[in-house]
Chains A and B, each alone.
Chain A
Amino acid sequence: MRRILELLERDAQLRPDTIATMLDLPVTQVSEAITAWETSGAIRRYRAVIDWDAVDADVATETVTAFIDVSVAPARGVGFDDVATRIARFDEVRSVYLVSGSQDLRCTVTGTSIRAVSDFISQKLSTIDRVRSTATHFVLKTYKRDGDAFSSPEPDHRLPVTP
């Protein structure tokens, strides 16, 4: 069953009957398992992985991404959780992690411009109670994201017919 999820994680467009053939399982078992995961929320949703840098400029909207390291004063009883949850609620915030090292939270923030992201950090994020400081790193180029390399794939170097 784990293998069904691994296949979907790699290619969400695989049909249940193809998955069933690949894993030598009954189609109904695969369909039912997927439905159950969708219902329970184990499968959150299906979406495309888009390299926006590769999309034509007239179609793509400018998106700026920044990693922000946040230093937080922890509080008795809640640690960092309340501040982290508060940050995570903003739509501009794509991810929030509690990390080891000199800072406490690492966040990913996106916006339509550097200005928009900067304003968000200075006006919304930095002003949250117990946020002591922030360090912002704007993304200049994406080489790989979540296991997907964003360089153009190498052509097939094999000869068309070989022994």
Chain B
Amino acid sequence: MKALNSVIAACPPSGIRRFFDIAAEMDDVISLGVGEPDFVTPWRIREAGIYALEHGYTTYTSNAGLPRLRELICADLATRYGASYGPGDECLITTGVSEGLDLALRVLLNPGDEVIVPEPCYVAYEPCVAFAGGTPVRVPTRWEDGFAIDADVVAAAITPRTKAILIGSPANPTGAVQPRAALEALVRLALEHDLYLISDEIYDRLTYTGAHTCLGTLPGARERTVLLGGFSKAHAMTGWRVGWICAPAPVAELCVRVHQYTMLCAPHVSQLAAVEALSGPDADVDAMVADYDRRRRVFVKGLREIGLDCPEPGGAFYAFPSIRSSGLDSETFADRLLHAEHVAVVPGSVFGPSGEGHVRCSYATALPQLDEALVRIDRFLQDIR
């Protein structure tokens, strides 16, 4: 047999998968390993999806997606952040940010182009760059700095082949929100070196310590920014697979071109549910965000009380405590914690070398479960000391 695609074959499977396999075998596991809301999609949105099915909206939509949904997204970005994107030629609906990221990279990259990826970062960033023919170039961030991206470190990694910088804020796995000044410094670098910026803002509504900065609204950024967003996190719609890209028309047009041949369109029913998500009352999102915030405070305080240093997570629904005091590396820590106490966390090292010494804990879990998890982690820490 001839060899399969060498780039894909060389890409290691996600480090998360192994923990899933072990945790799935246990029946009393408390999972802090889940990267999605513990809320079910609000009923008004589910009801709109059911209505769409009942009335036979089971067809394709236009490639770029329902015009009404694109109008709502652009209007929402304008009201919330003052961003200006045209629903006609600067916005398209994707099957989640995952597809959006893939499209953006394929459209921006020529073979061998480098993409700077500050890490620790979402597990898909580097593989998607590689699949698109690019070369991911890791840039470390430090938990002592709250995982803020240091423009000087980024600048040092820029070469003539550098094409783009890929940023996720608020971030999975750290919960870090990039300070506005850090983003502005990246925009200056992008202008200076003629780089694109890919901004994954799927967690934009889930911020607790300050307003979200939409990268596309920073001076000079709009013309070189590909903005990725979606409904999965804020509206608890992960399984619906619906997200969007907003980008300058030439970029958006090529994204639609790839999308029309590979995906055709995002699911029609999901798009109609997303229309309800944006056109109906917003109180359910606010209530979910307030609930995450309360659990965040209780959980982070609890982690600190059992002796784990934890930087204040300003967004998303992850805490990223340091486990260095345990003397274990993050993979061993997560493995032993799972076997000894049946608590699933994700080792920080799967998100990049700078994640070593940390574990990702999702607090999108009911409060009694978080309390019990803290008791078990505390017992585990005392046993290994």
- Residues of chain A touching chain B, judged by Cβ–Cβ distance below 8 Å, are 7, 18, 21-24, 154, 156, 158-163
Contacts and interface: CB of A to CB of B under 8 A. Distances in A.
B16 A162 contact: yes
A21 B303 CA distance: 13
Interface string B283-315: 000000000011101100100000000000000
Interface in B20-55: 20, 23-24, 29, 31, 33-36, 38, 40
A158 B346 CA distance: 16
30 contacts: A18-B298, A21-B297, A21-B298, A21-B301, A22-B295, A22-B297, A22-B298, A24-B297, A154-B40, A156-B38, A158-B34, A159-B20, A159-B24, A159-B34, A160-B23, A160-B24, A160-B29, A160-B33, A160-B34, A161-B31, A161-B346, A162-B16, A162-B20, A162-B33, A162-B35, A162-B36, A163-B14, A163-B35, A163-B122, A163-B123
A9 to B, nearest CB: 13
Contacts of B295: 22
Nearest to B287: A6
Contacts of A23: 294, 297
B124 interface: yes
A45 to B, nearest CB: 23
B131 interface: no
Contacts of A24: 297
**Interface range on chain B (Cβ under 8 Å from partner):** 20 to 34
B354 to A, nearest CB: 18
Contacts of A18: 298
A158 B344 contact: no
Contacts of A21: 297-298, 301
B210 to A, nearest CB: 14
A22 B14 CA distance: 34
A24 B290 CA distance: 12
Nearest to B172: A163
Contacts of A154: 40
B322 to A, nearest CB: 21
B19 interface: yes
Contacts of A156: 38
A23 B297 CA distance: 8
A21 B299 CA distance: 9
A160 B20 contact: yes
Contact of B16 (A7, A158, A161): A161
B382 to A, nearest CB: 23
Nearest to A24: B297
A158 B36 contact: yes
Contacts of B40: 154
B66 to A, nearest CB: 27
Given A22-B297, A159-B20, A162-B35, 4 more contacts: A156-B38, A159-B24, A161-B346, A162-B16
A22 B300 CA distance: 11
A154 B41 CA distance: 13
A160 B344 contact: yes
A18 B371 CA distance: 11
Interface string B323-363: 00000000000000000000010100000000000000000
Contacts of A7: 294
Contacts of B297: 21-24
Given A21-B297, A22-B297, A22-B298, A163 B38 contact: no
Contacts of B33: 160-162
B31 A160 contact: yes
A22 B296 CA distance: 8
Contacts of B346: 161
B34 A161 contact: yes
A162 B21 CA distance: 11
Contact of B38 (A158, A159, A160): A158
Contacts of B36: 158, 162
Which 10 A-B pairs give the minimum distances between C-beta atoms? A161-B33, A22-B294, A161-B20, A160-B23, A160-B31, A162-B35, A161-B19, A163-B123, A21-B297, A158-B34
Among A7, A21, A158, max chain B CB count under 10 A is at A158
Nearest to A159: B20
A7 B122 CA distance: 33
Contacts of A22: 293-295, 297-298
A161 B29 CA distance: 11
A163 B232 CA distance: 13
Nearest to B98: A163
Interface string B114-134: 000000001110000000000
Contacts of B122: 163
A153 to B, nearest CB: 10
